[in-house]
Amino acid sequence: MAAKRRPKLAVWKFASCDGCQLSLLDCEDELLAVAGEIEIAYFMEATRAVVRGPYDISLVEGSITTPHDAERIHQVRRQSKFLVTIGACATAGGIQALRNGRDVDQFMSIVYARPDYIDTLPTSTPISEHVKVDFELRGCPIDKMQLVELICAFAGGRKPMIPTHSTCMECKMRGNACVMVAHGTPCLGPVTHDGCGALCPSYDRGCFGCFGPAETANMSALTGQLSELGLESRNIQRLLRTFNTNAGPFREESSRHDS
């Protein structure tokens, strides 16, 4: 029997901070085993050695913010059998999507000495608005164990165990008290996709919504409660306008809080 060909993996970067790619490098204990089963064929952050495509699995980090990237993502798609977006930028447009609906030319004139060197789009958009995406891994940054789980599932040809329910379930499984109920701390947990293991509430902070909207998020019911807790409309909007500002439910709800 011929030796089994290892699936080829590529990691692509678009507009992003590299934090999600670092999560992959951060899988120190698992990385060697992964590399034994999967050929890491294209991963510029780790090595300049490049194995040509096509690739069995592509991990895409970052959002589309330039005309060049809007082209490049199609090339990536063409070379990839299974395309996974990693992180809030690739999945929802990231924090840089705060520019959407604003005057980007004005920003450039303030930030850059030579704005004419800058070739950018007026929006930051998720990969799924440009090409077909096979799986979206949430988080800002992603959770490295979820990434390992995704790769193991891919290697085993099975469904990844990545639930889409709210952060509250994991929070209660850890035995935490609800920070909203017990301390009056505003928290996005009830509308936020599981994945971080309820990190912030476990340290007495409200959830910041890094993993974006949970399945069937009831945004207005939560923001109603946040204002009961004394949060002004302006601050509710700020809470929703971070890493996942452009994720549908967060975007729509935050625009209801324009004062």
Partner 1 sequence: MPATNDASTKAGLLRRADLQSLIDALQRNDYRVIGPTVRDATVVYDEIAMVDEMPIGRGDNQDGGHYRLTDRADDAVFGYTNGVQSWRRYLFQPRRTLWRAKREARDFVVEPETEPAPKQAFIGVRACELHAIEIQDKVFVDGTYTDPDYQSRRATAFLVAVNCGSAGGTCFCSSTDTGPRSESGFDLSLTEFLDGADHAFLVEVGSERGAEIAADLPLEAATGADRQRARAITEETAASMGRTMPVDGLKDRLQQSLEHPRWQQVADRCLACSNCTMVCPTCFCSTTEDYTDITGQTAERQQRWDSCFALDHSYLHGGSVRTSTAARYRQWMTHKLAGWIDQFDVSGCVGCGRCITWCPVGIDITEEAAAFSGDGVE
Binding site for partner 1 (CB under 8 A): 30, 33-34, 36-38, 148-149, 151-153, 155-156, 158, 161, 163-166, 168-169, 172-178, 180-183, 187, 189-191, 204, 215-218, 221-222, 224-225
Residue 152 beta carbon to partner 1: minimum distance, rounded to whole angstroms: 5
Q: In the complex with partner 1, which residue's Cβ is closer, 31 or 46?
A: 31
Instruction: Report whether the peptide linkage leading into residue 54 is cis, meaning its omega lies within 30 degrees of zero.
Output: yes
Residue 249 beta carbon to partner 1: minimum distance, rounded to whole angstroms: 12
Neighbours of 244 (CB within 10 A): 31
Q: In the complex with partner 1, which residue's Cβ is closer, 17 or 46?
A: 46
- Nearest CA to 162 among 107, 214, 224? 214
In whole angstroms, give the CA distance from residue 101 to residue 107.
12
Q: Which residues contact 62 (CB under 8 A, 6 or more apart)?
A: 12, 13, 14, 15, 16, 69, 87, 89, 90, 94
Q: What angle do CA 66, 192, 73 make, to 5 degrees?
A: 20
Q: In the complex with partner 1, which residue's Cβ is closer, 133 or 168?
A: 168
In whole angstroms, give the CA distance from residue 150 to residue 215.
19
Residue 186 beta carbon to partner 1: minimum distance, rounded to whole angstroms: 10
Q: In the complex with partner 1, which residue's Cβ is closer, 205 or 238?
A: 205
Residue 55 beta carbon to partner 1: minimum distance, rounded to whole angstroms: 17
Residue 124 beta carbon to partner 1: minimum distance, rounded to whole angstroms: 29
Q: In the complex with partner 1, which residue's Cβ is closer, 52 or 158?
A: 158
